[in-house]
Each structure stands twice: as structure tokens, then as C-alpha cells.
Amino acid sequence: MHGLHLTADLHGCRCAPLWLTDAAALGQACLAAVQAAGLQAVGQVFHVFPATVHGPGGVTATVLLAESHLCVHTWPEQAAVTLDVYVCNFGADHSAKAHALMNALLALLDATTVQRHALQRGELASAPSAPQSPTAPGAAVA
């Protein structure tokens, strides 16, 4: 279960509007980026949300990876996007591929502001301590 989880919140996306509103186009771009990064797509869901009074609906592009997943959510009325790339590193370290995938999508969406986060998942900071039962010596009893 060890892995790397990358997220990015993008604001001020200057990309072509279709990347924020056309689920099929965004999905194909995601699949191409997955392949270019050396990851393996094993499934996908591309969904368009309905337009609102604020503008065209956003899209979600999700690619299930043999190594874990990629998910992109868009808000065209805000020129905003959230990106989520998670790779498990069981059997091999896919971290460089995760960064390559994230960087390809960041380049495509061309945001003025990007907040990036990286989380190492599944690693224990220290050995877990045994849970203490309420009746153990020294435990408080209500």
C-alpha cells in the first residue's frame, strides 16, 4: 500500500476552453498523458456536468491505473481544476511517473496559480502501540 499521492489545485487556467468543458477531449488527453508517463490505464470514466446559470458545466475525467488512479475535475466558470494522481509503489517505485503525469497535465491546463501537495501514503511513522483497554492496569475507569 505504499504510494505517492499528488494533488494540485489550479486557478486561472488559460488553456483552450474545451479542456474544461469537453469530457471526451479531456479524457483522451489524460489517456495520452498516462501512456506518455509510462503508466497503464485499465479503465476510464469521463463525465459532463450540466450547464448552470454561471456557465457551462464542468467535467470529471477519471482514469483507473494498474498503479492506482488519475482524477481531474473542472470548474469552467471559475477557470479552475483539481488534479489527483495516486500511484502505489508495490513492486516498483512509480513516483517519477506520477510526477511526469502531473507535470503534463499542469502544462496542458496552464494555470496562473497552482497549489501542489505530495503525500507519502502507507508508511508508518513509528511502530504502532498496542491499544490500551479500559480495564488495563493504570487505565481510568469511568
In Å, the largest CA–CA distance within the chain is 66
Torsion angles phi and psi, residue 85, rounded to 5: -125, 120
- Candidates 13, 15, 30, 88; catalytic one: 88
Which helix (H) or strand (E) segment holds residue 62: the answer is: strand 59-65
Pairing of strands 68-75, 80-88: antiparallel
The reply to whether 73 belongs to the active site is yes
- Candidates 5, 13, 68, 94; catalytic one: 68
Distance CA 101, CA 44 (A): 16
β-partners of residue 9 are: 82, 115
Q: Which among 23, 16, 13 has a CA at the least distance from the CA of 111?
A: 13
- Candidates 11, 69, 73, 99; catalytic one: 73
The reply to whether 126 belongs to the active site is no
The reply to whether 88 belongs to the active site is yes
List, by residue number, the catalytic residues. Answer: 68, 73, 88
